Chains A and B, each alone.
Chain A
Amino acid sequence: MFHAFFRSIFWVLPLFLVLPPVNSSSCAMGNRTTEIRVKYENILSPDINELVNMSAEYRDRCCKNKKHENAKVFFCNDTQEIESLQSMACNMLKFFNKQKISKDFRWKAAIVSCGTLQVLQCKCERNRKEKVCTEVNTHNKEDTETGEHSKKKCNQEFCELKENISSLRSCWNKFAKIISR
């Protein structure tokens, strides 16, 4: 009787059925398709192209045939483009403090990540976005490295960042094609 009392009061089992764990998006998409498209075309797209060009200038011979543990981050899932972009942008923010990567490069990558999250109005876990994007938006990058010194040696983190950038650009291309209908 005691067990029956608690079950009837708390409805644990029905609650499990009604409230399944759902990965809800932390992005406020709403009905903002046009706004997102305009911001992407006029503001974000030039920055993404510039980042891709910077990425192409760096040596990446050590990156061939490398398989990354976090490979699923680089997926742009069908019908889940916004979530994929959020995941890629949040993942890219973690490279902001990697000293093995050129400062110019990781600063530009952070700008693109923050821009993506801002346009889509998304958040990242552990307040990573707030920590990095506040610094990017408020502080000017100090030019402490010359052009030659900034092209540091190829390493695993650099390879992962390059792939992250490529996936982010492709996912934005895919999303732009969808929202341009």
Chain B
Amino acid sequence: MTCTWGSRETLTTNFSLYYWYENRSPVVECKHYLQDQGVSVGCRFNQSEIVQFQPFRVRVNASLDGKTLEIPSERMELQDLVKPEAPVNLTIHNLSSNQLQLTWSSPYPKAQCLEHAVKYKSNKDTTWTEHKVKGEIFSFPSVDYEKYYTFYVRSKINSYCGSTQLWSEWSVPVVWGNNATSEGTAEEQLHWFWIHTVLIPITSCLLLLVLVILLVRMERVWVIFMPRIPNPSKNFDELFITHKGNFQEWTGVPKDVVESFKPNYNESVCYVSELPPKESYEPFWGSTDQLLAVPGASAGTREHGPHKNSYVGA
């Protein structure tokens, strides 16, 4: 049993340890200190100095500047602080009807106070499965011969002989499965690994590169993917540059045709208004220069018809 209180880096002073079993033994100083570069960092107890099932107490004294500081511990039950060694000699037995049996042994001559835990996983599983076992036999009910299994076992003092949560380290593993399958699987996995991780990405990149080069170099192919936007400006260069915007000259329209469109006469404006559909004749108001008298019309002001005067000109 070892009792430690720090390391060379964390300790600034020297410590001494005293221990006793309540109502059983006097206070005794540690006989075998653990040293780290000249500093006491712990105490090692021999088997003769260990008494289980008796309350155990420890006091650590620190010496600093001539003063002694006492640091007592809580009452301890040593059977609750046992961390067993890992099981050994893991062996797998083939039983009938797809059943496996895992056995192991403990490094201790009397292992009745131990309980065990088995964890296993196949090559197809992603997580471990763990089972608690009281004895030293674990039965695996249905095994798949296509898979490859790995088993680990560890131990702990059971609740009848102590109260501890200290498990041992996991044992050396034992494996089961078809050797050829496992090797072939490994080779296949390596093969697929190289294909998926190296070959396919490189091939894809090269193909992409070739396509890009082709697209850039071969305009005929590029035009298919990126057709040009029509630009009619070149067609009108002659109009704006040579003929300076003279559309008629650019189109080649003969001069006499151009002249024919120009007007060579004047027409006066003729105002036109709508006559009301009544029997009485009203003066027809045309331009201010002309006033047509209509029979039956009386002198004086007349109301305008409901319609506005309309203007007709040419």
- Which A residues are closer than 8 A to B by beta carbons? 40-41, 45, 49, 52, 71-72, 74-76, 166-167, 169-171, 173-174, 176-177, 180-181
Contact = CB atoms under 8 A, between A and B. Distances in A.
A75 B23 CA distance: 8
Contact of A171 (B53, B113, B160, B162): B53
Most B CB atoms within 10 A — which of A41, A180, A181?
A180
Contacts of A167: 55
A71 B23 contact: yes
A52 B80 CA distance: 13
Contacts of B113: 176-177, 180
Nearest to A175: B53
Contact of A166 (B77, B110, B112, B161): B77
B159 interface: yes
A74 B23 contact: yes
Contacts of A181: 110, 112
Which of the listed residues B24, B55, B75, B160 has the most CB atoms from chain A within 10 Å of its own CB? B160
Interface residues of B, number: 17
Given A76-B54, A171-B53, A173-B53, A45 B160 contact: yes
B112 to A, nearest CB: 4
A173 B54 contact: no
Contacts of B77: 166, 170, 173
Contacts of B159: 45, 49
A56 to B, nearest CB: 11
Contacts of B171: none
A84 to B, nearest CB: 10
B79 interface: yes
A75 B21 CA distance: 11
Given A41-B160, A45-B159, A170-B77, 16 more contacts: A52-B163, A72-B23, A74-B23, A75-B23, A76-B54, A166-B55, A166-B75, A166-B77, A173-B77, A174-B52, A177-B79, A177-B112, A180-B110, A180-B160, A180-B161, A181-B112
